[in-house]
């Protein structure tokens, strides 16, 4: 091998295609190796390599027992593997866990990468079965080629460094033992040779000074710790990490600054090392900083013994990984919120179609019943209950970022000022409300009604946090966030934003509540006092508006929610039209109704016929186009179509219909569509949308609005909205 290091890699997987993938990644042709070198240079900077990227020696095993025998044979031949990639499931023999345990019995130094998918086992289950070890990593399937290549490179490097470190430590122990023996022999001679004794003492002091200099200026925390846990020597980096002076640390032991939950695991490892069961250990643990907050560190510990094999002291290397752990937790939380949002939006979308049919059918039933009759009252109650359910689905759609937003250019100061009196009334006499708008605030783009709803949700949450009164402060400002500033928020990009901070002086939240504050149906209130959708709805609205919302809180010190919305140019424009129906106008035109939900289609067809229209109904775009032989497509006055349908979208169907007869009017309807409606700009001038669930009154008035000659869109404008 070109770099003279152990690049032996073993693949244990019952899927032959996995082996082929690893060979392509780890032992590629020369052109592929050159491409990979360029990728590594782009990701990690220029790396000087005389012979190009390392080439790995890859062996394959298709069952755990077969892999075990290969590892055993390699160890007997003094040609051990550095890394093994082990699949979790390999029926009918050993699984990945048993294979790993068997391999480590004969080769404890081999680095193991467990290859698994989300559906196999949780991380906690894996570590419970295998145990937390320095030589274990987990690689999620499907894996990225660069990730696999870098893992193989890093772990083979780690294997080599481990061997090198072990050899150096053994050599150091050997030298210390030999040096001690030499000094003992020399002392006998030096009793009569004072001059020689002084020379040897001076040489020893010089050696100690060199060691002390290297120890003191190490870039990570380093300490010598006695077998009973007392700090014997600490360097500057460790003092800076924990916030204590050297004198303060030397009067303590490591247990005094260690989090209580981590002490037993640390001491158990130390006892095993003192007993000779292990030679070193690595673990994550938490220290209490001198200022009171917790820091997370990665601890590497080895033990120095004297020539009689008695323990002298532990050598501890300590790295601060607090920020790394925080970013990992934040990334996992963001992924969880995204998954829950998609689920909530999907459920609400399907439920919307059902509600629309319920509302429509009940409204039709009420129209056929005598006024003020008991049955009419029941129909009214059904409609009212369905309306409440529709309101709930709108909140879920907001959280899932799949509701309709009528965007326009907004002055956030104006919105906040206009809500002054309402907030005073909402908060009550025990809470003082302060609004602090910044001068020269830039414009943002969003739905003013939804932004107002976010502020109301936040204010109500603040009111509940201040049952005995307090202060609510709303403050706006222009902020510019660079890459470093947004590093704490994985989904926030650098740029210019308008920030709205909403602060209360209430009870605050602990870390567990803060981690779940935006989850739907999560609430700390008593049963019957809230469903836990206020903050999750606000989260979805801000995300859908292209912004970000964060929460900062301390117990008994209050809470601050910061909302960031991207700045836009002041001369930007956004249209917004709202029509309040007053009656049910009728018509005689012919309408092509296309809706894939059968209940919704039947209810809408009945309603259209009741309003006087001639209706042709189809369940899909292709079925609608097949009606052409039965009726002249030119005779359809209006196409009323859902936006999202299987086989052909409403947009594609509209294009086909307009190509046949450009004078046909088009009315779209949908519960949500993220890609077509929001990202492709369906809600532009010239395109009319009726949002589900809709009432018969809303449909009747919208039809007359679209079919009225004065509102007829030009065909070119209609078609341009789909490009």
Q: Domain with 234 in it: what CATH number?
A: 3.30.450.20
Q: For residue 183, tell me if it sits in a domain.
A: no
Q: For residues 393 and 437, state if they share a domain.
A: no
Tokens representing 657 are 């219909």
Q: For residue 177, tell me if it sits in a domain.
A: no
Per-residue three-class SS string for 682-694: CCCCCCCEEECCC
- CA–CA separation, 551 and 502 (whole Å): 10
Model confidence at 21: pLDDT above 80:
yes
Write the pLDDT tens digit of every residue in 352-371. Answer: 667 677 777 777 777 777 77
Write the pLDDT tens digit of every residue in 30-77. Answer: 545 555 556 555 555 554 454 566 789 999 999 999 999 999 999 999
Q: For residue 53, tell me if it sits in a domain.
A: yes
Q: Is the peptide bond before 447 cis (omega within 30 degrees of 0)?
A: no
pLDDT band at 5 (very low <50, low <70, confident <90, very high): confident
| Confidence (pTM) | 0.34
Q: For residue 215, tell me if it sits in a domain.
A: yes
Of 279, 294, 320, the domain-final residue: 320
Position 344 scores a pLDDT of: 52
- CA–CA separation, 460 and 473 (whole Å): 13
Q: Domain with 517 in it: what CATH number?
A: 3.30.565.10
Of 296, 320, 344, the domain-final residue: 320
Q: For residues 344 and 204, state if they share a domain.
A: no
Q: For residues 548 and 653, state if they share a domain.
A: no
Q: For residues 34 and 113, state if they share a domain.
A: yes
Q: For residue 325, tell me if it sits in a domain.
A: no
Question: Cβ distance 280 to 297 under 8 Å?
Answer: no
Q: For residues 423 and 553, state if they share a domain.
A: yes
DSSP string, 599-636: HHHHHHHHHHHHTT-EEEEESSHHHHHTTTTTS-GGG-
Of 291, 320, 349, the domain-final residue: 320
Model confidence at 182: pLDDT above 80:
yes
CA 463 from chain centre, in angstroms, equals 30
Write the pLDDT tens digit of every residue in 96-114. Answer: 889 999 999 999 989 999 8
Q: For residues 622 and 526, state if they share a domain.
A: no
Range of the domain at 68: 8-162
Considering only CA atoms, give the Rg of the chain.
35
Say what the alpha-carbon torsion angle 291, 294, 297, 302 is, to the nearest 10 degrees. Answer: 70
- CA–CA separation, 706 and 449 (whole Å): 25
- CA–CA separation, 566 and 547 (whole Å): 6
CA 233 from chain centre, in angstroms, equals 41
Q: For residues 270 and 336, state if they share a domain.
A: no
Q: For residues 564 and 415, state if they share a domain.
A: yes
Write the pLDDT tens digit of every residue in 459-503. Answer: 888 888 888 889 898 989 888 877 655 655 666 778 888 989 888
Q: For residues 395 and 419, state if they share a domain.
A: no
Q: Is the peptide bond before 142 cis (omega within 30 degrees of 0)?
A: yes
How many domains, the chain?
5
Kindly report the CA angle at 21 between 17 and 24, in degrees rounded to 5? 135
Q: For residues 40 and 148, state if they share a domain.
A: yes
Q: For residue 585, tell me if it sits in a domain.
A: no
Q: Domain with 76 in it: what CATH number?
A: 3.40.50.2300
Q: For residue 180, tell me if it sits in a domain.
A: no
pLDDT band at 616 (very low <50, low <70, confident <90, very high): very high
Q: Which of 233-247, 272-286, 683-697 has the lowest mean pLDDT?
A: 683-697
The SS3 of residue 99 is helix
Q: For residues 96 and 135, state if they share a domain.
A: yes
Q: How many helices (H) and strands (E) does the chain have?
A: 23, 22
Q: For residue 436, tell me if it sits in a domain.
A: yes
- CA–CA separation, 435 and 585 (whole Å): 46
Q: For residues 285 and 353, state if they share a domain.
A: no
């Amino acid at each position: 091998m070109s770099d003279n290091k152990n690049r032996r890699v073993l693949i244990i997987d019952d899927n032959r295609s996995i082996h082929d993938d690893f060979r392509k990644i780890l032992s590629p042709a020369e052109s592929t190796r050159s491409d990979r070198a360029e990728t590594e240079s782009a990701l990690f900077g220029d790396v000087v390599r005389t012979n190009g990227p390392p080439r790995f020696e890859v062996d394959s095993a298709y069952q755990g027992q077969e892999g075990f025998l290969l590892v055993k044979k390699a160890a007997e031949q003094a040609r051990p593997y550095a890394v093994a990639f082990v699949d979790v499931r390999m029926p009918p023999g050993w699984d990945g866990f048993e294979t790993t345990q068997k391999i480590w019995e004969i080769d404890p130094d081999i680095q193991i990468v467990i290859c698994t998918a989300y559906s196999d086992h949780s991380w906690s289950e894996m570590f419970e079965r295998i145990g937390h070890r320095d030589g274990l990593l987990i690689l999620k399937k499907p894996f990225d080629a660069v990730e696999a290549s870098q893992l193989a490179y890093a772990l083979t490097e780690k294997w080599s460094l481990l061997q090198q470190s072990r050899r150096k430590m053994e050599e150091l122990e050997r030298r210390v033992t030999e040096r001690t023996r030499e000094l003992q022999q020399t002392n006998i001679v030096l009793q009569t040779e004072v001059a020689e004794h002084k020379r040897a003492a001076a040489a020893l002091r010089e050696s100690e000074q060199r060691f002390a200099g290297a120890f003191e200026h190490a870039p990570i925390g380093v300490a010598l710790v006695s077998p009973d846990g007392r700090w014997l020597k600490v360097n500057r980096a460790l003092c800076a990490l924990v916030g204590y002076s050297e004198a303060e640390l030397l009067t303590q032991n490591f247990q005094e600054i260690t989090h209580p939950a981590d002490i037993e695991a640390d001491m158990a490892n130390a006892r095993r090392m003192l007993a000779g069961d292990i030679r070193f250990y690595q673990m994550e643990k938490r220290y209490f900083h001198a200022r009171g907050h917790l820091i997370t560190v990665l601890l590497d510990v080895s033990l120095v013994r004297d020539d009689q094999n008695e323990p002298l002291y532990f050598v501890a290397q300590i790295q601060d990984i607090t920020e790394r752990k925080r970013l990992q937790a934040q990334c996992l939380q963001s992924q969880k919120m995204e998954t829950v949002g998609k689920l909530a939006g999907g459920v609400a979308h399907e439920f919307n179609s059902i509600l629309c049919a319920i509302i429509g059918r009940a409204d039709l039933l009420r129209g056929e019943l005598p006024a003020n009759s008991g049955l009419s009252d029941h129909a009214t109650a059904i409609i009212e209950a369905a309306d409440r359910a529709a309101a709930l689905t709108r909140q879920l759609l907001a959280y899932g970022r799949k509701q309709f937003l009528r965007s326009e250019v907004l002055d956030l100061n104006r919105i906040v000022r206009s809500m002054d009196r309402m907030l005073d009334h909402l908060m009550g006499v025990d809470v003082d409300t302060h609004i602090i708008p910044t001068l020269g605030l830039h414009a943002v783009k969003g739905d003013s009604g939804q932004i107002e709803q976010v502020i109301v949700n936040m204010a109500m949450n603040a009111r509940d946090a201040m049952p005995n009164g307090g202060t609510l402060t709303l403050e706006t400002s222009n902020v510019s966030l660079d890459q470093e500033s947004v590093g704490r928020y994985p989904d926030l990009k650098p740029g210019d934003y308008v920030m709205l901070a909403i602060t209360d002086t209430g009870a605050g939240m602990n870390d567990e509540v803060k981690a779940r504050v935006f989850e739907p149906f999560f609430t700390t209130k008593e049963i019957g006092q809230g469903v836990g959708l206020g903050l999750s709805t606000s989260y979805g609205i801000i995300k859908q508006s292209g912004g970000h919302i964060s929460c900062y809180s301390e117990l008994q010190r209050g809470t601050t929610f910061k909302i960031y919305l991207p700045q836009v140019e002041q001369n930007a424009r956004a249209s917004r039209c709202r029509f309040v129906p007053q009656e049910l106008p009728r018509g005689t035109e012919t309408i092509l109704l296309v809706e894939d939900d059968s209940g919704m289609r039947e209810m809408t067809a009945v309603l259209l016929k009741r309003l006087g229209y001639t209706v042709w109904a189809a369940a899909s775009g292709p079925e609608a186009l097949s009606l052409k032989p039965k009726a002249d497509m030119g005779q359809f006055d209006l196409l009323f179509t859902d936006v999202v349908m299987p086989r052909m979208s409403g947009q594609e169907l509209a294009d086909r219909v307009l190509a046949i007869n450009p004078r046909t009017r088009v009315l779209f309807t949908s519960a949500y569509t993220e890609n077509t409606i929001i990202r492709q700009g369906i809600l532009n001038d010239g395109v009319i949308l009726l949002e589900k669930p809709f009432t018969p009154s809303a449909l009747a008035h919208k039809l007359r609005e679209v079919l009225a000659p004065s509102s007829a869109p030009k065909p070119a404008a209609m078609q341009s909205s789909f490009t």
